Amino acid sequence: MGLWEFATLTFMWSLLGFILAIGILVTIHEWGHYQVARWFNIKVVKFSIGFGKKLWSKQGKETEFQLALIPIGGFVKFVDEREGPVAEEDLPRAFNRQSVYKRFAVVAAGPIINLIFAWMMFTAIYMIGVSAPKPIFDQPIAKSALEKALPDNDQAWLVLQVDQQEVTSWLTVREQLLMALVDDQKRVSLTLESIETGRIKVLDNVSLAELDLENQKQNWVRAIGFQPAMIPVPAIVGDVKANGPADLAGLQSGDLILSINGTAIHYWHDLVTTVRDLPNQEVFVVVSRDGVNYDHQVALTANAAANDDLT
């Protein structure tokens, strides 16, 4: 998948998520008006989610429910003498004939139900939690405090605790480092679990000398030496751009890239870092296709890594 296709897909999913979120909020808001009006026996003529052209509707006992084209709002329409003639039997149920307290309650119900819904959602998020990247790292940053405490590392680790406090994400690791800095600590202890074997390892006295509490822009997680492990994404060619470098070289969608100029490519990250150092050069690429290896000569552009020359 090229950069443009990825950006387009991301935009479409974001737009869909926005419309869905707005739709839920509007529905809850209008339901507040509708429900309170029913409690006071005010006749509701129409309940609409969206404005403009009607896309779908269903007639209830006395209320028409509809979905409209523009999903950024909605409305609830009551029987009201100010908007037209009202049947004699409906006059006691007209909105304009209700007491000021009832009308105020109906109008206020929408915003109030939205506030209650927001409180319920935040409470649920707080209780359930949200997904976040686990604090997994492999190679500490060179010359960092973590590398000095964990020299010659050859495996990936999950951070379980910082100063005996449980952590579940990089954000909570940062929070514990912040607490240590606020307490004017010079060192912290780290409890790690091997991803491969499950072995527990405790690093005592990891220096905080490189961390600066006064520098709010400093990445304290990186400053101590943590480098989040890269997700191992295979280096598989996505959609090949017509007349692009990959297409002109004969690469096909689904090809697994094995090497570039003799440098082994294991994951997509290896591909990006390799071609980034080879702008405007012709490179020899070995790919695997249906179990057979093929050699291709690809002419990279000036900004190969960003332009997806191999897709």
Neighbour count for residue 143 (Cβ, 10 Å) = 9
Residue by residue, DSSP assigns 278-304 as: -TT-EEEEEEEETTEEEEEEEE--TTH
In the chain, count H helices and then E strands. 8, 11
Q: Is the dihedral of CA 34, 38, 42, 45 positive or negative?
A: positive
Q: How far apart are CA 237 and CA 250, in angstroms?
A: 12
CA-based end-to-end distance of the chain: 7
Which of 147, 141, 180 is CA-nearest to residue 161? Answer: 180
Q: How far apart are CA 195 and CA 80, in angstroms?
A: 67
* Beta pairing class for 256-260 and 263-264: antiparallel
Q: Which residues are catalytic?
A: 30
Q: Is the dihedral of CA 225, 226, 228, 229 positive or negative?
A: positive
Q: Which amino acid is at 35?
A: Q
How many alpha carbons fall within 13 Å on the CB side of residue 287? 24
